[in-house]
Amino acid sequence: MNLELRHLRVVCAIAETGSVTKAASMLGLAQPALTAQLQRIERTLGGPLFERDRRGATPTALGELVLARAKVVLPAMKGLQEDAARLTGHQVNPHQYRIGAVSGPILGGLIPRLAENDSVQVMTHPSHWADQLSEMVGAGRLDFCIVGACGDTVPGTPADGLVWREIAVDAVFVMLPETHLLARRWEVDLAELADAQWAVLPGDGCFGDCFAAACARAGFSPRTMYEMDVGNVIDLVQAGHAAGLCKATFRRVHGIATVPIAGAPLRWRHLLGWHPRSQAAEFADAVLAHAVAAYEESASRNPHYIEWLKHNPQFKPQLSIA
């Protein structure tokens, strides 16, 4: 096997997360597949790259050597790809937008706003992984990405060189079947769901850690966390087998109630990212304005959320909704 750039990214991901399991999650791979890939890399290089135990994965001397070289090679190749993309015409123009997005309320309303003129083409790329989308923007394969973060950080790394602007801040609500005893409450204390099982989407950066910390502050550790796509999350909640977490602007679904969490311990920042040296930067302000309008339109469909916002003005930008 010849060593490739993707192999170096695997080694860096394991070192960065300190765990093969966490690296697999970050890279969007199954853990057994990543383990097998690591074993092939180690056979190619002639020795183990990590010492693995219950505390995680620690680089060996050979691993440190590979990581040192990877930190030189990967940024250099990324810079080459960016420059090549800009020179060979893989750039945005007023008639084409390439947009990547994680699951959320904005993309569906953004597309018709950008494509009001029939000559404008919008190409989309879905992903659960904000870091993957930010890397694609940095490499010139996407013009913009719409992602989120639950804290004050931004996705990706400083090496990506992206500009990030906040579209809006959502509260995080709980999804419950409409028959649930708490479904008609104005707010629900997280501690009241201490015995619940949870259904969540994959990806979303540090959100799992933020949720676990919020539960700890409420005095419990969350039980089973089923990670699945949005359709299966909805099915599991509708059937009454789990509670779900969703952005407050989550569209209304028959049989499901979305209820605010008392004290708003979790939030979700919708972010728009682009590369400042790309041609996309010329249109960034217009795309951001359209994204804000799309968010506001989505929020306006949830009267409970609009009323809740009046009592929680910390979630901004302030919506221009009567």
Do 157 and 51 fall within a single domain? no
Residue 322 clears pLDDT 50, i.e. is over it: no
pLDDT tens per residue across span 135-149:
889 888 899 999 988
Q: How far is CA 80 from CA 3, 85, 151, in A?
A: 19, 8, 32
CA nearest to 82, candidates 175, 198, 162, 197: 162
Residue 212 clears pLDDT 90, i.e. is over it: no
pLDDT at 292: 92
Do 77 and 200 fall within a single domain? no
Residue 319 clears pLDDT 70, i.e. is over it: no
Do 64 and 105 fall within a single domain? no
What's the DSSP call for residue 314? Answer: T
Angle at 232 between CA 229 and CA 103, to 5 degrees: 35
User: Which residues span the domain enclosing 75?
Assistant: 5-87
Do 267 and 315 fall within a single domain? yes
Residue 166 clears pLDDT 80, i.e. is over it: yes
The structure tokens listed for 117 are: 């003129």
Using DSSP, state whether 59 is helix, strand or coil. strand
Which of 60, 87, 114 corresponds to the end of one domain? 87
pLDDT tens per residue across span 221-245:
888 788 888 888 899 999 999 999 8
pLDDT at 237: 92
Which of 87, 104, 129 corresponds to the end of one domain? 87
pLDDT at 10: 87
Torsion from C-alpha of 177, 182, 186, 187, nearest 10 degrees: -100
Domain CATH number, residue 194: 3.40.190.290
Residue 315: pLDDT band with limits 50, 70, 90: low
The mean pLDDT value for 172-199 works out to: 92
pLDDT at 156: 66
Mean pLDDT of the chain: 83
Residue 24 clears pLDDT 90, i.e. is over it: no
C-alpha span between 109 and 101 (Å, rounded): 12
C-alpha span between 322 and 304 (Å, rounded): 14
C-alpha span between 116 and 118 (Å, rounded): 6
Q: Is the pTM of this model over 0.85?
A: no
Residue 194: pLDDT band with limits 50, 70, 90: very high
pLDDT at 241: 92
Do 230 and 167 fall within a single domain? yes
Residue 82: pLDDT band with limits 50, 70, 90: low
C-alpha span between 278 and 84 (Å, rounded): 12
pLDDT tens per residue across span 269-308:
899 999 998 888 888 999 999 999 999 888 888 888 888 8
Do 165 and 233 fall within a single domain? yes
| Percent of the chain residues past pLDDT 70, beyond the cut | 87
C-alpha dihedral sign at 209, 247, 215, 317: positive
Residue 101: pLDDT band with limits 50, 70, 90: very high
The mean pLDDT value for 138-165 works out to: 82
C-alpha span between 177 and 202 (Å, rounded): 21
Amino acid at residue number 192: E
pLDDT at 76: 83
C-alpha span between 29 and 35 (Å, rounded): 10
Residue 155: pLDDT band with limits 50, 70, 90: confident
Contacts of 274 (CB under 8 A, 6+ apart): 137, 143, 144, 145, 162, 163, 280, 281, 284, 287
Do 97 and 21 fall within a single domain? no
Residue 117 clears pLDDT 90, i.e. is over it: no
Domain CATH number, residue 52: 1.10.10.10
C-alpha span between 322 and 306 (Å, rounded): 9
Residue 201 clears pLDDT 90, i.e. is over it: no
Count of all residues that appear for the chain in the document? 322
Which of 32, 56, 87 corresponds to the end of one domain? 87
Do 104 and 49 fall within a single domain? no
Residue 65 clears pLDDT 90, i.e. is over it: yes
pLDDT at 118: 61
Alpha helix positions (H), 118-226: 130-138, 207-217
Task: Report the range of poorest mean pLDDT among 82-86, 191-195, 199-203.
Answer: 82-86
Do 109 and 79 fall within a single domain? no
What's the DSSP call for residue 181? Answer: T
Do 13 and 65 fall within a single domain? yes
141-176 burial, b for 16+ CB within 10 Å, e for fewer?
A: bbbbbbbbbbeeebbbeeebbbbbeebbbbbbbbbb
Alpha helix positions (H), 107-227: 107-114, 130-138, 207-217
Residue 102 clears pLDDT 90, i.e. is over it: no
Residue 158 clears pLDDT 80, i.e. is over it: no
C-alpha span between 143 and 243 (Å, rounded): 36
Q: How many structural domains is the chain composed of?
A: 2
